[in-house]
Amino acid sequence: MKKLHLLALVVLIMAGLSGCKKEKVANQASVDVFIKAIKTPQGATLYTVIHSVFSYNIMTSVSVASPDGTTKQLVNPGGAGNSFYNIPVDADYLPTLPTSAIGIYTYIVKFNDGEEITYTNSLSNLTIQPANITSLAKSANGDSVYIKWDAIPNVNFYQIEITKGTTQLYYSDKFYDGSSPLKPNLRLGFNLYNLNSAGGTGTFTFNINGLLYETTAYSYLQATSTSSSDIAL
């Protein structure tokens, strides 16, 4: 499930860059590093570092050197050559990130024509907490499902993802609380017929993703968070 969340975030980053000029005039890539927080079923919050590199030009390999000098190769699932990233395993999620994870990351991107270009991106220690989901239940008349959660401090945007097993059934556009003052709690509803039509019956997982960007240009992520809750429908 962590891998599915990561794939969705990579799609988000690619969508944010979709306004860039697509004609190839020179090899160019966009690199991003951010902190991802998750809430475990036991309620603990764990953190890891995510790397994402995207280009409209074909890339053949991407390596990244951490502030402490550790180097790793990023992967290109699907083999198209436009998106490279890391896929964390359980051991990569920690109660706190080491101080060595904060600083400047150096990426070496090799393109299909053999050219290598070096990029850098810095990571600060700013994080956002996973949402506290307070309720996930059917409506009184049984035709809808509502999820409620406490607002995440300092978050820029939210996204809702609904999955069944490893299949993603729904992934929302970014949205935010535009009320003034901000609401302490938020709620969204989903039509039960549409959910069952897409995924049949069984256990559905609702994921609330929080997004914090580096600047108000909202181009590069600083931190994300994910909290999940299950319901039988």
Q: What is the pLDDT along the chain (233 residues), one digit of tens a residue?
A: 555 555 565 555 555 555 555 555 699 999 999 999 999 988 999 999 999 999 999 999 999 999 999 999 999 988 899 999 999 999 999 999 999 999 999 999 999 999 999 999 999 999 999 999 999 999 999 999 999 999 999 999 999 999 999 999 999 999 999 999 999 999 999 999 999 999 999 999 999 999 999 999 999 999 999 999 999 99
| Angstrom distance (rounded) from CA 99 to CA 40 | 23
Which structure tokens are listed for 153?
A: 């401090």
**Enclosing domain of residue 76:** 2-123
CATH of the domain at 192: 2.60.40.10
Point out which residues pair with 230 in neighbouring strands.
205
Q: Within this chain, do residues 65 and 145 fall inside the same structural domain, yes or no? A: no
pLDDT digits (tens, 9 = 90+) for 68-93: 999 999 999 888 999 999 999 999 99
* Burial track 62-92 (b if 16+ CB lie within 10 A, e otherwise): bbbbbbeeeeeebebeeeeeebbbbebeeee
187 in the same domain as 163: yes
- Of the candidates 84, 11, 78, the one whose C-alpha atom is nearest the C-alpha of residue 54 is 84
31 and 49 share a domain? yes
When the pLDDT of each residue in the chain is averaged and rounded to a whole number, the result is 91
pTM to 2 decimal places:
0.85
56/147 same-domain check: no
